[in-house]
Amino acid sequence: MSQPNINTKQRSFKHLNERERYQIEILLKDRKKPKEIASILGRHRRTIEREIDRGTVRLLNSNLTYSERYCADVGQRKHEEASSNKGAGLKIGCDHKLANHIEKRIIKDKYSPDAVIGEIQAKSLQFDTTICTKTLYSYIDKGIFANISNKDLPVKCDKKKRQYEKVRIAHNNLKGTSIEERPEHIKSREEYGHWEMDCVVGKRGGSGATLLVLTERSRRKEIIRKMPDKTQESVKKEIDKLERKYGKKFSKHFKTFTVDNGPEFLNSVELESSILDPQKKRFKLYYAHPYSSWERGSNENANKLIRRFIPKGTDIGKLKHKDIQRIEHWMNNYPRRIFGYRTANEMAA
């Protein structure tokens, strides 16, 4: 055996390797004490003692007696098993307050994980720990939360912005004004009062009741009204009610509407005519291209939010007025990333 390397410095925070374990086994057979082995390997005495305890096995001798002996292979195997189980601890740790808040927002309030984290940051809500949206999604995928799974989340996306191409189809509503004639300042969403309008239908074969959904382009303000059917007469009645409600201020709140080419919107002259003064137009109606729902993107996103509460196949006729108002209130108080997680109501304030 070589002489003890008493000049070797002790190494800290580094695991023994396989070669060192075989050295320990040989030195023990040479009747070296743990203190001497530690000096030779440049390790702390307690490191060697713990390794000997870990790798010691009980062997049956030929005379049917038992003896204990350190085995390097056993020590290495136990080290590898322990290493396979290690990893970074959960960042959320034991912060039950944060976990309960996340579960409530996602399950009861139907928030997306991004909206939950964004609201915490925007409102400076205080918790013991902080996590990001990506970490929260990872925890949900791994089943860290007892009451949340991917089934509780809205549709997940890959964050890649979809590329749209203009559909080159002739406008089939010859009496209406095409979206191509809509001024650029409306497209830029800088001015309040320009809306998108669409209908959300209920169960086929049901009562026929439909929701009229109005989405303001700049602040994402939502107005939802229940109609008995999907006809232009019903649409006009709801807009007439709004005009009576706002009175002279109607034209300031509702300057233009962008709609699709559905039969409930085709007669632009009738919809644009004021109920208070039939000789005047109360707003301007623009029609998107056929098969181009992306031209009313805010409206389509609003419809997706509504579907969190009213899945396809639901008979809208069975919903009460307070149910519709609750959905509208939720949407106008939902934190949106585009506004730094402020709500539509906060943007309008």
* Residue 9 confidence (pLDDT): 55
pTM above 0.85, yes or no: no
Give 1's pLDDT tier (boundaries 50, 70, 90). very low
**Length, in residues, of the chain:** 349
Alpha-carbon distance of 128 to 102, in angstroms, equals 14
Residue (of 112, 141, 140, 123) closest to 305 by Cα position: 112
Query: Residues 119, 165: contact at Cβ < 8 Å?
Result: no
Answer yes or no: is pLDDT of 165 > 50. Answer: yes
Q: Does residue 4 surpass a pLDDT of 70?
A: no
Which pLDDT score, from 0 to 100, does residue 264 have? 94
To 10 degrees, the CA torsion angle through 16, 22, 25, 29? -140
CB atoms within 10 A of CB 275: 15
pLDDT at 13 > cutoff 80: no
252-262 pLDDT tens trace: 999 999 999 99
**DSSP 3-state of 21:** helix
Confidence class of residue 199 from pLDDT cuts 50, 70 and 90?
very high
Residue 192 in this model has a pLDDT that exceeds 90? yes
Mean pLDDT of all residues in 226-251: 95
CA–CA gap between residue 2 and residue 251 (Å, rounded): 97
Q: Where are the domains of the chain?
A: 18-84, 96-152, 177-348
Q: Does position 299 have pLDDT exceeding 80, yes or no?
A: yes
Residues 273, 220: Cα–Cα separation, whole Å: 25
Answer whether 327's CB lies under 8 Å from 306's CB.
yes
pLDDT at 82: 82
Q: Which two tokens stand for residue 309?
A: 């509460």
Residue 10: band (very low, low, confident or very high) from pLDDT cuts 50, 70, 90: low
Average pLDDT rounded to a whole number, residues 125-146: 91
What value does the mean pLDDT of the chain take?
88
If one compares 186 and 91, the residue with the highest pLDDT of the two is: 186
CB 310 within 8 A of CB 316: yes
**CA distance linking residue 6 with residue 39, whole number of Å:** 6
Candidates 3.30.465.10, 3.90.650.10, 2.30.110.10, 3.30.420.10; CATH matching 177-348: 3.30.420.10
| pLDDT value of position 62 | 82
pLDDT at residue 171 above 60? Answer: no
Going from the C-alpha of 293 to that of each of 181, 198, 264, 265, the distances in angstroms are 17, 10, 16, 15
Per-residue pLDDT of 30-80, as tens digits, reads: 999 999 999 999 999 999 999 999 999 988 888 888 889 999 999 999 888
Query: Where is 68: in which H helix or E strand?
Result: strand 66-70
Say whether pLDDT at 115 is over 50.
Answer: yes
